């Protein structure tokens, strides 16, 4: 059976309402998740939310962005407050729940590419600082997962590592702090090792892990090098060689979190998005029965959509999953 889910971010500021909506949409129909509402302001964004999880590595929000500091700033304190509020609501909304539940955090390389050193350059420019950031993130996410498991003991937890900057890190496309140069590319083996640190740190606590990247040039072969790591992508951005890598990943027994439904879709029927996907699936040589290994999602996060549109896109994803379930049986 093909599942449905979403990437994680939603519009609005009412976390209790968002959480109830997500459970109603995906309970018994897919994979519910802990929503992120960046519209609440600084600290509710992907970076601030993850910065609040870091262990013994304080950060603060400066005019230029998030930066490592000597003591936690007020914005990261507020981020921690948002997260505690979210977990309180999670415990209430998912009281007695049993089944899959997805959490989203910023991946180590996007975090290192975004958070700055005290002197202003990106943390990713300093191997020592990057190593410290990765270790701190691993410890913080481990604590976060443990907290959620205590609050919702029946949940089979899934952790999604959001890595929108990963292709730029690998290709050396990140601008320097001055804007006049580019940060040196990080070697693929170092990127792989950094991802291995965080994924292995929670491997015994969670049911599965998925790397999400809705940017072009997703490094599919690198994902395949990490044991059991699943992939979440905007399928519209996949080029032919990447489809070959996706096929190998699926045939290895891993799920593909396929961003089939565009975030601005106005389709009246899910077949408008499902049919081209199934056609490509078959042309790359994948067996139709393997469509059961797909989780249908919107192409990316929905924080920028109107509330009604975000709900409609998610419903369309659920309907698309039903269509793929039928296709897998033929």
Among 109, 110, 91, which residue's Cα sits nearest to residue 101? 91
**For the chain, how many structural domains are there in total?**
1
| Spatial distance between the Cα atoms of 301 and 238, rounded to a whole number of angstroms | 18
What is the pLDDT, as a whole number, of residue 180? 86
Whether 84 shows a pLDDT value over 90: the answer reads yes
* Percentage above 90 pLDDT, the chain: 92
Angle, helices 15-26 vs 74-93, to 10°: value is 40
User: Which residues are within 8 A (CB) of 50 and not within 5 positions of it... i.e. 6 or more apart?
Assistant: 105, 106, 111, 137, 140
- Asked whether residue 273 is domain-assigned, the answer is no
- Asked whether residue 304 is domain-assigned, the answer is no
- Asked whether residue 325 is domain-assigned, the answer is no
β-pairing verdict for 65-68 and 59-62: antiparallel
- Asked whether residue 172 is domain-assigned, the answer is yes
Per the document, the length of the chain is 330
What is the pLDDT, as a whole number, of residue 53? 97
- Asked whether residue 315 is domain-assigned, the answer is no
Whether 220 shows a pLDDT value over 80: the answer reads yes
What is the pLDDT, as a whole number, of residue 78? 95
178: pLDDT confidence band, cut at 50, 70 and 90?
A: confident
CB 206 within 8 A of CB 158: yes
Whether 143 shows a pLDDT value over 90: the answer reads yes
- Asked whether residue 317 is domain-assigned, the answer is no
What is the pLDDT, as a whole number, of residue 31? 98
- Asked whether residue 272 is domain-assigned, the answer is no
CB 252 within 8 A of CB 224: yes
Domain extent for 176: 3-256
Mean pLDDT of 131-139: 98
- Asked whether residue 139 is domain-assigned, the answer is yes
Strand, coil or helix: what is 102?
Answer: strand
Whether 300 shows a pLDDT value over 80: the answer reads yes
Average pLDDT, the chain: 95
pLDDT digits (tens, 9 = 90+) for 34-46: 999 999 999 999 9
């Amino acid at each position: 059976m093909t599942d449905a889910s979403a990437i994680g971010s939603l519009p609005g500021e009412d976390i209790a309402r968002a959480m109830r909506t997500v459970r109603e949409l995906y309970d018994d129909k897919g994979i519910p998740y802990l929503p992120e509402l960046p519209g609440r302001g600084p600290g509710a964004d992907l970076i601030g939310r993850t910065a609040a999880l870091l262990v013994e590595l304080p950060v603060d929000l400066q005019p230029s962005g998030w930066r490592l500091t000597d003591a936690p700033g007020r914005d990261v304190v507020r981020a921690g407050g948002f997260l505690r509020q979210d977990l309180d609501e999670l415990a209430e909304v998912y009281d007695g729940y049993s089944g899959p539940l997805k959490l989203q955090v910023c991946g180590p390389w996007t975090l290192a590419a975004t958070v700055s050193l005290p002197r202003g350059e990106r943390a990713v420019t300093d191997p020592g600082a990057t190593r410290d950031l990765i270790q701190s993130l691993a410890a913080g996410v481990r604590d976060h997962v443990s907290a959620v498991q205590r609050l919702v003991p029946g949940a089979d937890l899934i952790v999604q590592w959001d890595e929108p900057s990963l292709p730029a890190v690998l290709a050396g496309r990140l601008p320097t702090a001055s804007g006049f140069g580019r940060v040196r590319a990080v070697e693929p083996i170092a990127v792989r090792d950094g991802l291995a640190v965080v994924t292995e740190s929670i491997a015994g606590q969670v049911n599965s892990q998925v790397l999400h990247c809705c940017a072009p040039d997703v490094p599919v072969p690198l994902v395949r090098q990490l044991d059991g790591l699943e992939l979440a992508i905007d399928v519209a951005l996949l080029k032919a060689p990447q489809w070959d890598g996706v096929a190998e990943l699926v045939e290895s027994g891993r799920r593909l979190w396929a961003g089939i439904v565009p975030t601005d879709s106005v389709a009246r029927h899910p077949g408008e998005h499902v049919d081209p996907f199934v056609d490509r699936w078959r042309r790359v040589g994948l067996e139709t029965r393997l469509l059961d290994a797909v989780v249908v999602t919107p192409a990316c996060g929905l924080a920028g959509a109107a509330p009604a549109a975000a709900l409609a896109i998610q419903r369309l994803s659920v309907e698309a999953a039903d269509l793929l379930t039928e296709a897998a049986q033929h």
